A and B are shown apart, each in its own frame.
Chain A
Amino acid sequence: MNTPEKLVPTIHSWTEPYWKAARERKLMIQRCKDCKKHIFYPRICCPFCFSDQIEWVEASGKGKVHSYTVVQNNPPSAFVKDVPFIIAIVKLEEKVQMLTNIVGCDPEQVKCDMPVEVTFERVNDEITLPKFRPAGR
């Protein structure tokens, strides 16, 4: 079977700063100017207070693994050659949650609440995906 291409995110006007920063290996997230809460993923308006006054700030890039799974069999066809790989939900210090991959980590070693930090994997000229690795390595 031919492996289909992995899905690459489409860039929109309100997500463009996120992807531009990722290309520069920086993790930028939104913050609402009115209610001051951090926002992820990028929104058109604040999901907490409905304000449209949203700014971009650089995130700490540090967080904890809230949950994880090691994918071993039956992934989507574009990922068949990647197994085993780790999918995780990471909670950043800024209290936003992201779906991501944990890289640079033995699948046996990943644990809930393990500290992680951001790293970046280039996909193409436009898209670089933020991923996470064990903190302090």
Chain B
Amino acid sequence: MSKLKGNVAIVGIGEVPTGRFPDRDAIYHAIESSRLAIKDAGINKGDIDFVMPAAALYSAQFSTDLACSRIVEELGLKNVRTNCQIFGGGSTSACFMQLGGSLITSGIAKYVLCVQADRVGTGVTAQGGIDLFSAAGISSEWERPYGQHVSSVAALISTRYQYETGTSDRHMAAVCVSNRKWAELNPNAMYQKPLTIEEVLASKMLSTPLRAKESNMLCDGGSAFIMTSAERARDITDSPVYFFGEGSRVTHFALSQEPDLTRFGWAEAAKEAFEEAGLTPKDMHIAELYDSYPMIQLITFEEIGLCKRGEGGEMFLKGDTWPGGKIPTTTNGGMLSQGHTGAGGGVAILVEAVRQLMGKAGKRQVKGAQFAVETATGGTYMDVHVTILGNTIP
């Protein structure tokens, strides 16, 4: 058990709408998200003493700017001791939590600003985006020569998962529909129009069984949050969100080397996280699960203990995961509907978990939500991260 449990809190969140903004330089997304997070926390910008920007994917120059303290200068933060770039692909959110939390509990930092911004929507062409993500977590020697890319990665997992569990194409499509029902209520989401199972199934086949509308859309955007100690949090806000538990595993680099293509390490990571928190899956009021593609959201849903293996698809189809359902899931719409901003898809899901627990989720607010399970995974699902958050000390 780490020293972070109950001792670290998120006290402010900021986010800009995701979408395609050809006239907005990426720095806008970083600065505006950070500014909103600092305002939301109700602290002085001079209180920030540690800045952790995520690496950006669309431009090496922009990413280097962030590593070299551009955000600190643009925001005029005068008391920052360290600016340190963090990157774990889709798991960057979990890296933020673990590292930022450790800095706070060790006393190195008082207020950590974690921020992610990217422009993978308008900063690259559509084919450029496919090629960019075909080099991310895919082995240049052992996989790329065979044409492996992100859609085929998702498809290979889907094929085996459906084969082993009997999960149907309709069940997979139901995940996209469930996420869209939440995005309909999310003004920051790229896609807010209703979506049907039939529309998903009729969309272009990319790599069997994965269809175009089961694929996340790359876009521009950013989000940010402020971490501090639980003690300081209680002094500055009525709605701190505490870190209660965490479990994680790294299981592969190249997808073909993953020992269990339909489970990864989710069950073990979840067991650790729930044990640390002293809570169970049944105690969770919301599940903010990393999506990117429907199969990983379904596998995660089942493996972390929200239902039995092979039964998740039916729950997404019936509406258990929708607004008003038994276990509201991925309530910002996820990368399938809010949009995929590089490493930011996962950060946005963490920010959404905090937003719900702060009671600031507007039309999609889950009433009375006290505990959330939140997940992240990076590369080609190279790792699993399960985090338990709450607004009440259990």
Q: Do A and B bind each other?
A: yes
Interface centre among A70, A75, A112 (most CB of B within 10 A): A75
Shortest distance from the beta carbon of B21 to any chain A beta carbon, whole Å: 23
Which residues on the B side are within 8 Å of A68 (C-beta)?
156, 159
Task: From B112-120, B139-147, B235-243, B266-274, give the one contacting chain A.
Answer: B139-147
Closest to B164 in A: A112
Q: Cβ of B256 and Cβ of A75 under 8 Å apart?
A: no
Which residues on the A side are within 8 Å of B254 (C-beta)?
41, 99
Q: Cβ of A75 and Cβ of B147 under 8 Å apart?
A: yes
Q: Cβ of A77 and Cβ of B159 under 8 Å apart?
A: no
Q: Cβ of B130 and Cβ of A99 under 8 Å apart?
A: no
Closest to A67 in B: B160
Assess whether B3 is interfacial by the CB under 8 Å rule: no
A residues 97-112 near B (Cβ < 8 Å) are 97-101, 107, 112
Which residues on the A side are within 8 Å of B146 (C-beta)?
87, 99-101, 129, 131
Q: Cβ of A99 and Cβ of B142 under 8 Å apart?
A: yes
How far, in whole Å, are A131 and B146 apart by their CA atoms in the complex?
9
Closest to B210 in A: A69
Q: What size tier do the contact residues of chain B reach?
A: 35 or more
Please judge, given known A-B contacts A89-B261, A98-B256, whether A74 and B140 are in contact too, CB under 8 Å.
no
Task: From A2-10, A27-35, A54-62, give the one contacting chain B.
Answer: A2-10
How far, in whole Å, are A67 and B153 apart by their CA atoms in the complex?
10
Shortest distance from the beta carbon of B211 to any chain A beta carbon, whole Å: 10
Task: Name the contact of A89 in the complex, choosing from B141, B147, B163, B255 (C-beta under 8 A).
Answer: B255
Q: Cβ of B140 and Cβ of A77 under 8 Å apart?
A: no
| Sample of 5 more A-B contacts, CB < 8 Å, known A68-B159, A97-B256 | A7-B145, A72-B207, A77-B127, A97-B257, A99-B142
Sample (30) of A-B pairs whose CB atoms are under 8 Å apart: A7-B140, A7-B144, A7-B145, A9-B141, A9-B145, A41-B141, A41-B254, A66-B160, A70-B208, A71-B152, A72-B208, A73-B206, A74-B212, A75-B130, A75-B151, A75-B152, A75-B207, A76-B149, A77-B127, A77-B130, A77-B131, A79-B147, A87-B152, A89-B255, A99-B139, A99-B143, A99-B255, A107-B208, A112-B159, A123-B145
Interface set of A (CB-CB < 8 Å, partner B): 1, 6-10, 15, 41, 66-79, 82, 85, 87-89, 97-101, 107, 112, 123, 127, 129, 131
